């Protein structure tokens, strides 16, 4: 690993077709969370760099060809980007793993999903009708509803799934004919920089895609408030999302927010009636809670299990959690990587300490692991943690931990299970495990969450909308609704035989 003094700062701000450094000359080291050593240096932009990028996007939208490019050509470009992502899958997957701390296999899967998103939105726009005809009740009137690009889009993305979350915004925005400025998380910007390079390689016109690397308090705030931005799309935490909405309000721009989650995973006893069912439910509970070290907005961090199977279920869950192999994500055999930063690990430790003081019972984890060849001493590792005998008043149950921590609550009746699952300020996702098909549909219908998985956890479909209820945000990503977020609707009413109306004398 190179020392920070040997690393060359990259020009990572792209505005108006030019790669450049920050106007201030500022830079930031990007740390590998597995050993806390820097592996890249990027430009640290601010408000001036942001204004420059917004101006470039504005010119490209108002004066450039992209908004008027036929949808077949826009779709073809998105498909070229997907092909380039497949070509660079291994390199990008490893970069995503090093940047965010996840395993290489998780990184590869992310790149596959990004390519799928570009292909989906390419197919969606290419297959659309040119407009919806509205019957005006007269052959002399031609009335049609059409969709047009919204304009300059500001995109602010999180650190946990840098490229995946960026693709959910970039692909529909480009498909609709918009221009954009994206701000990736300042701690995981590398693959977002790489996808801008791929967009340029694919032939996207100058000024359509712009990126400013830098912190939220300057770059993100300026994007949210700037009068030349027509839409701001933010994915991240509740507090930051609230600030984005407040900054956007004076200019009455469109705002899409995908915020946090505190997601229930409800396990009924009948799902565990067979050994295979029991094994599957436990395995999926591990997947729900600990994939990417729990740093997932849709993580099944609240296990809500029927009382009659609770003891056996939690005992097996804790046993398997202790066997999860922690280490550097780029190493073979590693199943779970580090947390993204020292700050994030300290936050997780705070929540676990609070839970134990409030009466939770530690069944596994709850500490930093011993260093090893795969786990450098300075890495931000934390053991997968199971907290039993939890209740709704605990902070660890109410608030988003965003780490490898699962809490266990218990229910006796279906009504109680639904009440517990819905007892949250968030409403992003949830899971239901049962062998009773009628119960599955009944419970899913009563849960107030944007996505419900039945006898599964975590899969998503590009063609299905993704979003939440309550404090999980507003707006939708993916699916037709995800494309609609990046469009304006226009009604064109044409009178084919105009006549005077004679409303007034004269």
- Which segments of the chain have a pLDDT < 50? 1-5
User: In whole angstroms, how far apart are CA 359 and each of 177, 285, 356?
Assistant: 54, 22, 5
- Which residue of the set 96, 106, 258, 477 is catalytic? 258
Known catalytic residue: 258? Answer: yes
The 8-class DSSP code of residue 124 comes to: H
Look at residues 297, 270, 303 and name the one whose alpha carbon lies nearest to residue 284.
Answer: 303
Residue 506 has a pLDDT of 64
Amino acid 494: pLDDT: 96
Which residues lie closer than 8 Å to 92 by C-beta, 6 or more apart? 85, 107, 111, 163, 191, 194
Q: Does the active-site annotation cover 377?
A: no
- pLDDT of 3 reads 42
Question: What are the two backbone dihedrals, phi and then psi, of residue 14, each rounded to the nearest 5 degrees?
Answer: -120, 115
Decide if 362 contacts 356 (C-beta within 8 A): yes
pLDDT of residue 275: 98
At 349 the pLDDT is: 98
pLDDT at res. 1: 36
Concatenating the DSSP letter of every residue in 27-55 gives EEEEEETTTTEEEEEEE---HHHHHHHHH
Do 344 and 403 form a contact (C-beta atoms < 8 A)?
yes
* Measured CA distances, 106 to 88, 89, 291, 361 (Å): 15, 12, 9, 31
Kindly name the residue from 44, 96, 225, 297 that is annotated as catalytic: 297
């Amino acid at each position: 690993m190179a020392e920070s003094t040997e690393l060359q700062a990259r020009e990572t701000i792209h505005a108006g077709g030019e790669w450049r450094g920050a106007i201030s000359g500022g830079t930031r080291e990007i740390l590998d969370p597995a050993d806390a050593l820097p592996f890249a240096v990027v430009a640290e932009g601010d408000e001036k760099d942001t204004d420059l990028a917004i101006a470039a996007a504005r010119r490209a939208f108002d004066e450039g060809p992209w908004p008027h490019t036929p949808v077949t050509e826009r779709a073809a470009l998105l498909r070229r980007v997907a092909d380039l992502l497949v070509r660079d899958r291994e390199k990008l997957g490893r970069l995503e793993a090093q940047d965010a701390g996840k395993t290489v296999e998780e990184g590869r899967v992310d790149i596959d999903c990004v390519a799928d998103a570009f292909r989906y939105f390419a197919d969606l726009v290419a297959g659309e009708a040119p407009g919806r005809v509205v019957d005006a009740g007269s052959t002399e009137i031609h009335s049609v509803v059409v969709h047009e690009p919204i304009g300059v889009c500001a995109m602010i993305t999180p650190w946990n799934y840098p490229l995946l979350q960026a693709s959910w915004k970039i692909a529909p925005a480009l498909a609709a004919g918009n221009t954009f400025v994206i701000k990736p998380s300042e701690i995981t910007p590398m693959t977002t920089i790489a996808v801008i390079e791929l967009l340029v390689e694919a032939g996207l016109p100058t000024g359509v895609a712009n990126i400013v690397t830098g912190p939220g308090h300057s770059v993100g705030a300026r994007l949210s408030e700037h009068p030349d931005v027509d839409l701001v799309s933010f994915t991240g935490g509740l507090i930051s999302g609230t600030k984005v909405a407040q900054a956007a309000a004076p200019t009455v721009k469109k705002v899409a927010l995908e915020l946090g989650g505190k997601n229930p995973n409800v396990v009924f006893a009948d799902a565990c009636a067979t050994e295979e069912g029991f094994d599957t439910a436990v395995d999926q509970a591990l997947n729900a809670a600990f994939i990417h070290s729990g740093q997932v907005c849709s993580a099944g961090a609240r296990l809500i299990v029927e009382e009659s199977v609770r003891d056996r279920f939690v005992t097996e869950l804790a046993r398997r959690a202790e066997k999860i192999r922690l280490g550097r994500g780029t190493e073979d055999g590693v199943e779970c990587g580090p947390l993204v930063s020292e700050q994030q690990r300290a936050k997780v430790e705070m929540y676990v300490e609070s839970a134990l003081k409030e009466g939770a019972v530690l069944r596994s984890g709850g500490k930093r692991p011993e260093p090893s060849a795969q786990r450098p001493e300075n890495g931000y590792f934390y053991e997968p943690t199971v907290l039993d005998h939890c209740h709704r008043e605990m902070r660890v149950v109410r608030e988003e931990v965003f780490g490898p921590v699962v809490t266990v609550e218990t229910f006796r009746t279906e009504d109680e299970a639904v009440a517990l699952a819905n007892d949250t300020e968030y409403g992003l996702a949830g899971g239901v495990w049962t062998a009773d098909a009628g119960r599955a549909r009944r419970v899913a219908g009563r849960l107030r969450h944007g996505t419900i998985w039945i006898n599964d956890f975590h899969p998503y479909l590009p063609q299905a909308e993704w979003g939440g209820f309550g404090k999980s945000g507003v707006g939708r990503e993916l699916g037709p609704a995800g494309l609609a977020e990046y469009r304006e609707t226009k009604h064109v009413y044409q009178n084919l035989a105009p006549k005077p109306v004679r409303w007034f004398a004269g």
